[in-house]
């Protein structure tokens, strides 16, 4: 496994981040334990979750954190070896929150919800505590005051964001600087070959501010996995294929052909493309099975040639570079 510093911090994380959103609703506890054990074996030390994960069909919010907590409780250095990331913002369906139940980042909610995450995860600290979305009401003075308190207490080591626009990253860092606080160290963002809009503003802003970028949905919700145009991909893939536009179908066909020429799987080429971007720290992989996890390990070894990168740009054109040059004279 290869490692990188998380943004401008001195903490190193694996170049693949293990996403756990499937644990509970789609991956049972035994398989989840096997995946996490194998991840540590393979050198993947960066695990990402969120307090709301597990709340899908026939599930409950917090289920994923509970599974991870029981895995940590087995001991064997599991907790010590993991750089743990979780998130706060979402509605936890906690009736005790009353009118404060809806999503948000009030100091009230941040302080209450970290206690729930720590309890479910059976730990006393979270290495990377992330805002799952921007807060449009509470001022940064309130938000940073709450997070500073958690850092000072040792309950969180670093603070990250997710789904922020470039201007929100700038606002957050300006407010943190006034407090002589480190502020954000990372931004978790939707970014993949078929979604390159972040190249306009978010990626350049993150680089200039010294933030590590952690792409989520690196396979485009499965579109870049190679299963969508494959009749053996199952019902979910069949539905995704039916919803493709003619342009998307042509792109995926050309992409599949290129990957075959490269002798690599479509999933791993998509991950390798992200890893080749200097703004990216670690894409989040979300395996449902141990076999899927094993398949992704190859991605960190792939070095795409300039010709291959150029061909990918032809198939999946980006916005044309950074703003404003991408659209202005």
Does the annotation mark 157 as catalytic? Answer: no
- Residue 313 to residues 61, 262, 280, Cα–Cα distance (Å): 39, 15, 17
Task: Give the residue among 289, 281, 318 at the shortest CA–CA distance from 23.
Answer: 289
- Cα gap 280→271, rounded to integer Å: 11
Phi-psi region of 289 (alpha: psi -120 to 50; beta: other; left: phi over 0): beta
Cα 121 to Cα 69: distance, rounded to the nearest angstrom: 4
Residues 6+ apart with CB under 8 A from 176: 140, 144, 182, 183, 184
- Which tokens is 214 given? 């952690």
Q: What phi and psi values does residue 23 have, to the nearest 5 degrees?
A: -70, 120
Q: Are strands 12-14 and 46-48 parallel, antiparallel or unpaired?
A: unpaired
Spacing of C-alpha 186 from chain mean position: 10
User: Which residues, including other chains, have CB under 8 Å from residue 103's CB and lie 6 or more apart?
Assistant: 89, 90, 91, 133
Q: In what order do the strands lie in the sheet with 46-48?
A: 212-216, 184-190, 156-162, 126-131, 83-88, 46-48, 17-19, 284-285
Look-up: residue for tokens 């200039």? Answer: 208
Q: Are 261 and 269 in contact (CB under 8 A)?
A: no
Active-site choice (5, 53, 191, 255): 53
> Which residues have a catalytic role annotated?
53
């Amino acid at each position: 496994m290869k490692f990188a510093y998380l943004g401008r911090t001195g903490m190193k994380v694996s170049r693949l981040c293990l996403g756990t959103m499937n644990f509970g609703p789609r991956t049972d506890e035994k398989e989840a334990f096997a995946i996490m054990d194998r991840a540590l074996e393979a050198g993947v030390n960066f695990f990402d979750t969120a307090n709301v994960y597990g709340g899908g069909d026939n599930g409950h919010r917090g289920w994923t954190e509970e599974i991870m907590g029981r895995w940590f409780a087995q001991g064997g250095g599991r907790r010590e070896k993991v750089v743990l990331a979780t998130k706060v913002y979402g509605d936890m369906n906690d009736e005790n929150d009353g009118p404060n139940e809806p999503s948000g980042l009030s100091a009230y909610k941040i302080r209450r919800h970290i206690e729930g995450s720590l309890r479910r995860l059976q730990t006393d600290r979270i290495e990377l505590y992330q805002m799952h979305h921007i807060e449009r009401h509470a001022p940064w003075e309130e938000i940073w005051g709450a997070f500073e308190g958690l850092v000072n207490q040792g309950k969180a080591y670093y603070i990250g964001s997710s789904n922020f626009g470039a201007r929100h990253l700038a606002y957050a860092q300006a407010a943190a600087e006034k407090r002589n606080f480190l502020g954000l160290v990372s931004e978790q963002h939707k970014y993949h070959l078929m979604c390159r809009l972040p190249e306009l503003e978010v990626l350049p802003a993150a680089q200039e501010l010294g933030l590590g970028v952690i792409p989520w949905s690196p396979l485009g919700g499965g579109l870049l996995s190679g299963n969508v145009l494959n009749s053996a991909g199952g019902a979910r893939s069949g539905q995704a294929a039916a919803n493709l536009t003619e342009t998307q179908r042509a792109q995926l066909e050309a992409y599949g052909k290129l990957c075959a020429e490269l002798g690599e799987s479509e999933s791993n080429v998509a991950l390798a493309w992200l890893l080749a971007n200097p703004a990216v720290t670690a894409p989040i992989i979300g395996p449902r099975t141990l076999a899927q996890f094993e398949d992704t390990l190859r991605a960190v070894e792939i070095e795409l040639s300039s010709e291959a990168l150029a061909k990918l740009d032809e198939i999946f054109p980006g916005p044309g570079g950074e703003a404003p040059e991408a659209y202005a004279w």
